[in-house]
Structure 1
Amino acid sequence: MNNILSITPAKYLQGEVSLPGDKSISHRAIILASIAEGTSVIKGIQRGRDCLATLNILRMMGVEAKEKGDDLVIHGKGGVGLKEPRDILDCENSGTTMRLLAGLLSAQNFYSVLTGDSSLRKRPMGRVIEPLKRMGAQIFARGKGRFPPLSIIGTRLQGIDYSSPIPSAQVKTCLLLAGLYAKGNTSVTEKYRSRDHTERMLKFLGADIEVDDLRVRIKGGVSLSGRKIWVPGDISAAAFFIGGAVILKGSKIKVLNVGLNPTRRGFIDILLQMGADIKILNLKKKCGEKIGDIEVQGRNDLKGTLIEGEMIPRLIDEIPMLAVVACFAR
């Protein structure tokens, strides 16, 4: 039997769309709930392989997490409750998992090894290893200390002031997680602001964290408290439906309960600059994140625009879809 998928081009798109939870927020919710005091209920969690890799690794360190309907219930171990894993920790293909957990594991009182599939083992990790070593971390890697697997001997870290040469939410989050355990304050400064889900969730869960323009500072030794965490729909997944609707005249769609964090909605802002008919409805705030519905109507009269500078980090994941839309602009 031939597995053939036939696709017929659409004249327009119509209807309502509900999306899986935001992947970036899901990773952070799983990690922070695991090291918080008490129980967290995560609603709308994304269950893709990358997020499940993060969850499986934390389970290997003693975290109790159970599915309850569509929710994920995590009983946090507190700041010093994680246990040394009995085996190597497999991040599969998730660079987010490896970079974020490198910061967390560097501050624990045990030994651990992070690895991944053949693709992940080819990705350089120097951008997190170098600043973590400045904090006192003991991390060993192959390829002159740049490539996974990462062998980590947990130790007491010292807070630092770090200026990131390239804006990166993963590097920033890695250092904030390490800074949560470090002595003193840890700060990260960027040239442009990368996505700030970590800062928002840390504050929501009780961390002593301050954001001053492009600088983020966290105080070590402050416990987090478990809470109900609501994960909005993933705006990166929404981009495909939104992009399709704006280039097909006669389209009318509504994407429900999408995350509208200012550091992530660059795709929407650029489409508005291009003349797209997009409206934000039912805007609200949950767990520190802006959430709303996006209504799109296709008019087929887009115009070209310039994308540069600080806008790039705000739409980095949506650039391929934006390139498709740009093909239909004047």
Structure 2
Amino acid sequence: MSNDAKMIEPLSGALTGEIKVPGDKSISHRAVLLSAMAEGTSHLSGVLDSEDVRSSISAVTQLGAKVDLKKCTDGSLEGTVTGWGQAGPVQPESSIDCGNSGTTARLLMGVLAPWPIEVTLTGDDSLRQRPMRRNTAPLMKMGVQFKPAEADRLPITETGCSDIRAITYDAPMASAQLKTAVLLAGVYADGTTTLNEPAPSRNHTELMLPEYGVPTTAGTRVAKVEGPTVMHASDLKVPGDPSSAAFLCAAALLKRGSDVVVRDVSLNSARIGFVRTLERMGANISEHIEGYEGKEPYGTIHVKFTDALRGCEIPSQHFASILDEVPVLAFVAAHARGVTVFRGVSELHNKETDRVKAIIDGLELMGIDAWEEAENLLVEGNPNLQLPCGLVFNSYGDHRIAMTWALAGLCGNTPVQVSDFDCIAVSYPNFIKNIQKLVS
């Protein structure tokens, strides 16, 4: 077991009260990247301070943007980003290390596409195992060159194209990162760039681009940008991350007597599929929109302990809306009566780790039957689940897997250990502290 394994003790009481979660990771990445592309100085607040977002900050700084984001008392980042605008990014002195952040790497491919500079993108051991061909394929159709030409893994060297072409692209999968890369490249193309998807994916980019002056169409399974467009600076407040909120909601559902309100969280319909899933499982959970930041809705999620959860089926067309929450939803399903079926989960094999395997292995330690069958993940729950003593969970260095198994200790009957627990710094560094704040 890793030296940074953490012992997680059961909570001493119910979770009650109100709490805010850190800024949305997806929106934070995009706020930094779009502000770097824009002409002028953007003012940002609520930006998530995590290793992944700092990878994006470091990348745009290497490319010539001026970033002055300071840490606030609530742990978020606030300040300014002055973009390169029409002058374009500068040639970096060395390769750009994207760390563990697939969002940084894949979105940068679109950011760099319209500019005739040569940039090598790389990352840590985990990121270098994740597929990139899905992004390079449409960008090559737009005129971008990659070396090696057929590469599907980092490091990859990209040479942009100053007369980049507008395209219509039918994406083979629902992927917000693929979609965003094509749209960001299309901002500088002459004409309409269209991305069609087989199922809806996160639409933060389409909602945010108009704030930076880009004519954009945001449909259910189609997104378009009109170019060429000069992006202008914008002021943006990042709402709380629903993917982080999902862990607090799961804890409240499973810890008897709990009653929790998560405030100022993004309620984008493409991001709260976990709420719809928990509703189908019979959970006492609801959300309330309180306002909009640009076109992004935000508000509260209210969740109470629920004594009787039931298994359900999540169709493949809804998978993109719960992509990051499947581990924690599978953990909740382990406490439900009956079988829960997550359909079309093959994409989870290509995340920070093989999340399907990690989920099945961890649930097996808990005494829960879980298996993969024809690209579906099935979990047979046990409402009377009691954990055996001495469990040691392997996080595989994946932040969402680490937090999922932490819930086994927090909400269970016996302490557990989670290896490589410090990896939660990628998205939610203060996860345990936030949980403990709610203990009554």
Q: TM (normalized to structure 2)? A: 0.71
Compute the displacement of 1:3 (Å).
Answer: 9.0
For residues 142-191 of structure 1, give each alpha carbon's deviation from its aligned partner in whole angstroms, at most 9, with x where no partner exists.
Answer: 7x422211111121210110001111000000101111112221100001
- Structure 1 unaligned segments of length 5 or more: list them: none
Compute the displacement of 1:4 (Å).
Answer: 6.8
Whether the 8 Å CA contact 1:45–1:72 is kept in 2: the answer is no
Alignment CA distance shift 1:295-1:52 (3 Å) = same
Question: 1:47 matched to which residue of 2?
Answer: 49
The question of 1:84 aligning with 2:86 is answered no
Q: Where in structure 1 do 4 or more consecutive aligned residues deviate above 3 Å?
A: 2-6
Cα distance in 1 for residues equivalent to 2:223 and 2:146: 24
Cα distance in 2 for residues equivalent to 1:124 and 1:305: 31
Compute the displacement of 1:245 (Å).
Answer: 0.9
Structure 2 letter corresponding to 1:213: T
Structure 2 letter corresponding to 1:245: A
The question of 1:231 aligning with 2:224 is answered no
Cα distance in 1 for residues equivalent to 2:31 and 2:57: 10
> Which residue of 252, 259, 283 corresponds with 1:252?
259
How do 1:47-196 and structure 2 match up within 5 A? 47-68=49-70, 70=72, 71-141=78-148, 144-155=150-161, 156-196=163-203
> Which residue of 18, 39, 61 corresponds with 1:37?
39
Cα distance in 2 for residues equivalent to 1:288 and 1:270: 24
Cα distance in 2 for residues equivalent to 1:148 and 1:4: 31
Structure 1 letter corresponding to 2:171: S
Whether the 8 Å CA contact 1:141–1:147 is kept in 2: the answer is no
User: How many residues in Structure 1 have an aligned counterpart in Structure 2?
Assistant: 328
Cα distance in 1 for residues equivalent to 2:165 and 2:251: 49
Compute the displacement of 1:10 (Å).
Answer: 4.5
Compute the displacement of 1:203 (Å).
Answer: 1.7
Q: Percent identity?
A: 37
Alignment CA distance shift 1:4-1:164 (3 Å) = closer
Whether the 8 Å CA contact 1:239–1:318 is kept in 2: the answer is yes
Q: TM (normalized to structure 1)? A: 0.94
When structure 1 is superposed on structure 2, of 187-196 and 78-87 the one drifting more is 78-87
- Structure 2 unaligned segments of length 5 or more: list them: 73-77, 338-440
Compute the displacement of 1:69 (Å).
Answer: 5.3
Whether the 8 Å CA contact 1:246–1:298 is kept in 2: the answer is yes
What is the SS of the residue equivalent to 2:210? helix
Question: 2:398 matched to which residue of 1?
Answer: none
Structure 1 letter corresponding to 2:158: I
Question: 1:199 matched to which residue of 2?
Answer: 206
Whether the 8 Å CA contact 1:121–1:149 is kept in 2: the answer is yes
Question: 2:307 matched to which residue of 1?
Answer: 300
